[in-house]
Amino acid sequence: MTHATIVILGAGVSGLTTALLLSRNERYSITIVAKHMPGDYDIEYASPWAGANMLPVSKDGTPSNQYERDTWPEFAKLARDAPEAGIHFQNTVAYRRSKDTGTAVSDWMSELVRDDAWFRDLMPDFKAIPKSELLPGTDGGNSFTSVCINTALYLPWLVSQCLKNGVVVRRGIADHIADAASLHHSGKRADVVINCTGLSSLRLGGVEDRTMYPARGQIVVVRNDPKIMATISGTDDGPEEATYVMHRAAGGGCVLGGCLQKDSWESQPDPGLAIRIMKRCIELCPKLVPAGKGIEALSIIRHSVGLRPMRERGIRIETERIACPEGKQLTVIHDYGHGGYGYQTSYGCSMAVERLVQEAVGTQAKL
Ligand code: FAD
């Protein structure tokens, strides 16, 4: 059997999910090379900071919409059948306030809270929140069953599944995307390089995608459990501040967020923002704390900051032929720019990459 040699640059949720899907095909010999791995917490590495949950945000009919539609069944399967992956089902409510319309956070959530949401047939137990159950100041919203992912368990689980399927995982830094071609564990030149470098695609040689920018997210992780996931379309604390609560599976704590601060590279938590986040989350989910208590009743595990890898035109999944310094051509498949939805699009994106790999390897075989 001929093997295609593949190097995946990046070990975030995009690189690891892609490696997992490709590793099910015995024709592929795969090396993951990354500067950061599961277990690391670094501002250049978005995946460990995510909540993470699946709150659909794409517009119907777009590529991202297909990625979300393709991802949900995979997460539901893992939540049902693979407790070791650290994913569980959660009742979810998303409220809308009309007065938020036009802010960055409300734009981000507009599909989630609209009356005729496209995912009403996808997510289980979907229903519009009855008027009698709306919070003061809200005028609509949806409830459904989703999942929450304990990323501290899920990312290592992805690595272990890849290792079981023969993927080789190693540390490395590529200054130029073409450098990755010489990093396959066999010593052979890679037939295909898959670029899953997230926000680093802004500066990575040979890619330098100037349409990438960070959207800073700050969270507080607490031990309290409100037994529900909840969010709302905006806040009274500024257009870039958000409120969401999600309880992670298997002791992962409860993530309180957040914000969506465009073009901010600040890696340190802002204490004032942390207090606003905690207050808003208790207002949204009073069951976070005993009746009558405030933020003093939250048991804080840590304060964290991550940068969402945003791209002006959304996720880039595309094949490119790049000229290498030694004069050869290299096939690069890009998979980056997942913004605030890298988990909830992860399987769909990796399926799309898989189709491009099949095309690329087939083409090369004919040459
Ligand atoms: P990353 O996780 O950033 O991984 C990039 C990888 O590339 C790393 O391994 C890095 O070391 C490597 N790399 C980069 N450059 C090089 C190089 N030159 N050489 C070698 N290796 C390199 N998404 C959801 O779906 N649901 C959520 O609830 C959610 N919540 C979020 C909350 C916060 C606070 C934040 C910050 C994000 C959230 N997201 C959520 C978004 C999600 O985290 C990202 O979209 C996703 O993690 C991006 O993954 P990635 O693999 O593309 O990039």
Structure tokens of 217?
């997210």
pLDDT at 164: 98
Helix runs in the chain, H state only: 13-22, 63-81, 104-113, 151-164, 271-284, 346-366
Q: Which own/partner contact pairs does 278-284 have at CB distance under 8 Å and 24+ positions apart?
A: 278/220, 280/235, 280/237, 280/241, 280/243, 281/220, 281/243, 281/244, 281/245, 281/256, 283/243, 284/95, 284/135, 284/230, 284/231, 284/232, 284/243, 284/245
> Known binder of ligand: residue 308?
yes
Question: Measured from the CB, is residue 67 less than 6 Å from ligand 1?
Answer: no
> Known binder of ligand: residue 189?
no
Q: How far apart are CA 350 and CA 8, in angstroms?
A: 12
pLDDT at 366: 47
What is the per-residue DSSP string for 133-167?
GPPTT--EEEEEEEEEE-HHHHHHHHHHHHHHTT-
Q: What is the dihedral of CA 16, 79, 160, 152, to 10 degrees?
A: 80
Give pLDDT < 50 ranges for the chain: 366-367
Please state the ipTM of this predicted complex: 0.99
pLDDT at 19: 98
b/e 143-167 (16+ beta carbons within 10 angstroms → b)? bbebbbbbbbbbbbbbbebbeebeb
Question: Measured from the CB, is residue 334 less than 6 Å from ligand 1?
Answer: no
16 CA: nearest ligand 1 atom = 51
